[in-house]
Amino acid sequence: MSRSAVIVSTARTPIGRAYRGAFNNLPAPTLGSHSVKAAVERAGIDGTEVADVIFGAALQQGSTAGNIARQVALRAGLPTSVSGMSLDRQCASGLMAIATAAKQIIVDNMDVTIGGGLESISLVQTPQMRVAMDPELLAMHGDVYMPMLQTAEVVASRYGIGRDRCDEYALRSQQRTAAAQAAGKFDDEIIPVTATMNVVNKETKEVTTKEVTLTKDEGNRADTTLEGLQSLNT
């Protein structure tokens, strides 16, 4: 008999600003655990019912290394009987994790699975970032290590998408995000997260910490203007 998979609950943290934001000192397992714990509570299930946790992450090193899905599950308080699997499909790791969680139900006869994703730019993309290139692979495929930001430039060039169109699109995105936040459209899906944030004194470079609670995405700028975007360096 065929099986179907349905999403019965969702939860996400706010999106923090890289390096200077509320989550710049929050370890990845803890970051991911907030969403998992909230999703389990919202579903009204016991943690022992979860068969597998699948998480996607593009840079699985630093605090995101060592099977981050398993670490997130344990940090969320799920029992050690719950397994974990980490995926990397750039740039759709989280989406693939959710799809794979559904497949675990449809194909592998699991009853309850969790799928999600996370990235910790602040704690991974640092000067100590461990990235080594295979010279023979590089000789075969010169663009294999190209970051996603650079692939966007390739797409823009290939399809003739100029700077003006990009600025207009960016402005529209900022405006829509600001309007959605003001209308409370993200409130139900977001769970507030309290974290210890690093704060750098601009003059002395001294690093101190403070406790903050993030309740909404902090990366967007509601006061963005087209003129401001056009003044940015390319």
Residues 97-132: pLDDT tens digits? 999 999 999 999 999 999 999 999 999 998 878 778
Q: What is the pTM of this model?
A: 0.91
Show me where the domains of the chain are located.
28-131+162-230
Cα 26 to chain centroid distance, Å, stands at 13
- Give the separation between CA 68 and CA 32, rounded to whole angstroms: 9
Residue 53 above 80 pLDDT? yes
Classified by CATH at the fold level, domain 28-131+162-230 comes out as: Peroxisomal Thiolase; Chain A, domain 1 (3.40.47)
Residue 32: its H or E element? helix 28-43
Give the CA distances from residue 69 to residues 106, 115, 212, in Å, rounded to whole numbers and listed in that order.
20, 9, 25
Q: What share of the chain is helix, strand, coil (3-state, %, to 5)?
A: 40, 15, 45
The confidence score (pLDDT) of residue 233 equals 87
Percent of the chain surpassing pLDDT 90: 90
Own/partner contacts of 219-222, CB < 8 Å, gap of 24 or more, are 219/15, 219/16, 219/17, 219/18, 219/21, 220/174, 220/177, 220/178, 220/181, 221/174, 222/174, 222/177, 222/178, 222/181
Q: What is the largest CA-CA distance in the chain?
A: 67
The confidence score (pLDDT) of residue 132 equals 84
Give the tens place of pLDDT for each residue, 181-211: 999 999 999 999 999 999 999 999 999 999 9
Name the range with the highest mean pLDDT among 90-94, 134-138, 183-187: 183-187
DSSP 163: H
Question: CA torsion sign, 209 to 214 to 217 to 223?
Answer: negative
